[in-house]
Amino acid sequence: MPESSLWRALLGVDRRTVIEDVAFDEAAERVVVHVRPRKRMRAVCGRCGRWCGRYDRGAGRRRWRALDLGTVQVHLEAAAPRVRCREHGPAVARLPWARHGAGHTYAFDDTVAWLAVRTSKSAVCQLMRIAWRTVGAIVARVWADTETQIDRFAGLRRIGIDEISYKRHHRYLTVVVDHDTGRLVWAVPGHDSATLNRFFDVLGDGRAAEITHVSADAAAWIADTVARRAPNAIRCADPFHVVAWATEALDTERRRAWNDARALARIEGKRGAGRPRADSPARPGHETTKKLKDSRYALWKNPEDLTGNQQAKLAWIATTDRRLYRAYLLKEGLRHAFKIKGEAGKQALDKWIGWARRCRIPVFVKLQKRIVKHRTAINAALEHGLSQGLTESMNTKIRLMTRIAFGFRSPQALIALAMLAHGGHPPTLPKRA
């Protein structure tokens, strides 16, 4: 094998790169490989790839970090002349071993991106001997290159839209997930109608008209934007969020019962020190307060998941506070409607609305009005069985990536890493299928 072919194989470059010389810097303990692109590559714009006229020699010779050879760092050194592009003006000519504006080779970038998807960011920093911020820049660069080679919106029909908090001080991302493939197809900072409009601008009116179903929570900015930009889409309310409304109403009623018991306990006489006597007056307010204190999970949990103590607590509530137990049954009745789904679920929801309307519990009377307001989207969820489960799962994966990386300085790096990991086009190691 010729020596130049050997070095091209070791460096992970192709035949468009000419190896001129190899030197070892003993002081810095690094290998410096002097390279140049072949003649036909010297007049191509590094941004758009068009053939251009030469402009000048640039800022002199530059270096690019390559993959290490064992424990020794390797750098490629070459001139970086500029060309005159009709679209971008003076720009550095395209180099066959590195992306435009990068300080690392293709092989180095791809290896870092592959490691970032599968390991923690700190582990990548130590293994590849690069800075924390550099990992984010490389990931963003690799995703930008990948995005130009794929059509991530192809065949998009059923989507889920949600927002996720990725940082303190109310920093949010809006994410869009494909229900049919399970892929993350779009993410951008922000959580308002202007942010969601950016998605439909990128998607285009033609493809927006092909969307058939959209699952989301009851946020008005999502509903209004989807109705305006995707007129043919059926909006499905998320069953989990609807049942969560009932759980919140139930907890409000539980606090009402607890506060009533505390008010009764304040007017009851205090017992003296020592063991209470047999003829001491009963104190129902104190007893009710004590038992209601730990009843939250007995009321919140599904009946099939209750422990023995929680079942006993629920039975005690059924005999002592009929109004609170009726609120619990209303919550379970709403959950049952979403559990059976279909036409039977719609009929069960009709009966539930009538029951809640005359239940004489203010928070549930208010809740049934809210459900009637969103009835069209709720009926669509019951009919098509679409929920935000996949979208919430994607949010959990993004939070896990943020936790493993110990946070991100910019949302762009987080978005790029999420798209590489869950967008259906993961990075590959150099020279690997």
Cα–Cα distance between 215 and 180 in angstroms, integer? Answer: 12
Task: Give the phi and the psi of residue 359 in degrees, each rounded to 5.
Answer: -80, -15
Residue 5 clears pLDDT 70, i.e. is over it = yes
Please identify, among 41, 70, 102, the residue that sits at the C-terminal boundary of a domain.
102
Q: Looking at per-residue confidence, does 208 or 260 come out higher?
A: 208
Listed in sequence order, the residues at least 6 apart from 188 whose beta carbon sits closer than 8 Å to its beta carbon are: 173, 174, 195, 198, 199, 415
Residue 410 clears pLDDT 90, i.e. is over it = no
Contact 381, 239 (CB under 8 A): yes
Cα–Cα distance between 75 and 67 in angstroms, integer? Answer: 8
Give the pLDDT of residue 96.
92
Give the pLDDT of residue 324.
94
3-state helix/strand/coil string of 255-287: HHHHHHHHHHHHCCCCCCCCCCCCCCCCCHHHH
Give the pLDDT of residue 367.
97
Q: How confident is the model at residue 291 (pLDDT cuts 50, 70, 90)?
A: confident
In this structure, is residue 356 part of a structural domain?
yes
Contact 132, 139 (CB under 8 A): no
In this structure, is residue 6 part of a structural domain?
yes
Residue 267 clears pLDDT 90, i.e. is over it = no
Listed in sequence order, the residues at least 6 apart from 348 whose beta carbon sits closer than 8 Å to its beta carbon are: 333, 336, 337, 340
Give the pLDDT of residue 279.
52
Contact 420, 426 (CB under 8 A): yes
Report which of 40, 3, 4, 1 is spatially closest to residue 19, judged by C-alpha positions: 4
**Top-ranked range on mean pLDDT: pick from 227-231, 290-294, 296-300:** 227-231
Q: How confident is the model at residue 283 (pLDDT cuts 50, 70, 90)?
A: low
In this structure, is residue 229 part of a structural domain?
no
Q: How confident is the model at residue 1 (pLDDT cuts 50, 70, 90)?
A: very low
Report which of 378, 379, 356 is spatially closest to residue 366, judged by C-alpha positions: 356
Residue 156 clears pLDDT 90, i.e. is over it = yes
Identify the weakest region by mean pLDDT among 1-5, 7-11, 385-389: 1-5
In this structure, is residue 180 part of a structural domain?
no
Residue 414 clears pLDDT 50, i.e. is over it = yes
Q: How confident is the model at residue 261 (pLDDT cuts 50, 70, 90)?
A: confident
Cα–Cα distance between 249 and 320 in angstroms, integer? Answer: 20
Number of domains, the chain: 2
pLDDT in tens, 109-134: 999 999 999 888 888 999 999 998 89
Report which of 417, 394, 416 is spatially closest to residue 181, judged by C-alpha positions: 394
Q: Looking at per-residue confidence, does 289 or 312 come out higher?
A: 312
Task: Give the phi and the psi of residue 184 in degrees, each rounded to 5.
Answer: -80, 120
In this structure, is residue 305 part of a structural domain?
yes
Residue 429 clears pLDDT 60, i.e. is over it = yes
Give the pLDDT of residue 43.
83
Residue 162 clears pLDDT 90, i.e. is over it = yes
pLDDT in tens, 56-82: 888 889 999 999 999 999 999 999 889
Listed in sequence order, the residues at least 6 apart from 350 whose beta carbon sits closer than 8 Å to its beta carbon are: none
Residue 185 clears pLDDT 80, i.e. is over it = yes
Residue 278 clears pLDDT 60, i.e. is over it = no
In this structure, is residue 132 part of a structural domain?
no
Cα–Cα distance between 194 and 197 in angstroms, integer? Answer: 5
Cα–Cα distance between 170 and 165 in angstroms, integer? Answer: 7
Q: What is the mean pLDDT of the chain?
A: 90
Cα–Cα distance between 209 and 52 in angstroms, integer? Answer: 40
Using DSSP bridges, classify how beta strands 72-79 and 61-69 pair: parallel, antiparallel or unpaired: antiparallel
Task: Give the phi and the psi of residue 61 in degrees, each rounded to 5.
Answer: -80, 145
Mean pLDDT (whole number) for 126-150: 92
Tallying the residues shown for the chain, one arrives at 433
Residue 13 clears pLDDT 50, i.e. is over it = yes
Residue 267 CB neighbours (<10 A): 7
In this structure, is residue 108 part of a structural domain?
no
Mean pLDDT (whole number) for 178-198: 95
Longest dimension (CA), the chain: 106
In the three-class reduction of DSSP (H, G, I as helix; E, B as strand; rest coil), residue 21 is classed as strand
Listed in sequence order, the residues at least 6 apart from 95 whose beta carbon sits closer than 8 Å to its beta carbon are: 37, 41, 46, 64, 78, 80
Residue 49 clears pLDDT 70, i.e. is over it = yes
Contact 195, 174 (CB under 8 A): yes
Give the pLDDT of residue 381.
94
Encoded tokens for 369: 């009005």
- pTM for the model stands at 0.84
In this structure, is residue 325 part of a structural domain?
yes
Domain span at residue 348 reads: 239-267+284-384
pLDDT in tens, 318-353: 988 899 999 999 999 999 999 999 999 999 999 999
**In the chain, what percentage of residues exceed pLDDT 90?**
62
Residue 103 clears pLDDT 90, i.e. is over it = yes
Please identify, among 70, 102, 134, the residue that sits at the C-terminal boundary of a domain.
102
> What is the full DSSP assignment across 31-80?
EEEEEEE-GGGTTBBTTT--B-EEEE-TTSEEEEEEEEETTEEEEEEEE-
Give the pLDDT of residue 405.
75
Please identify, among 67, 102, 137, the residue that sits at the C-terminal boundary of a domain.
102
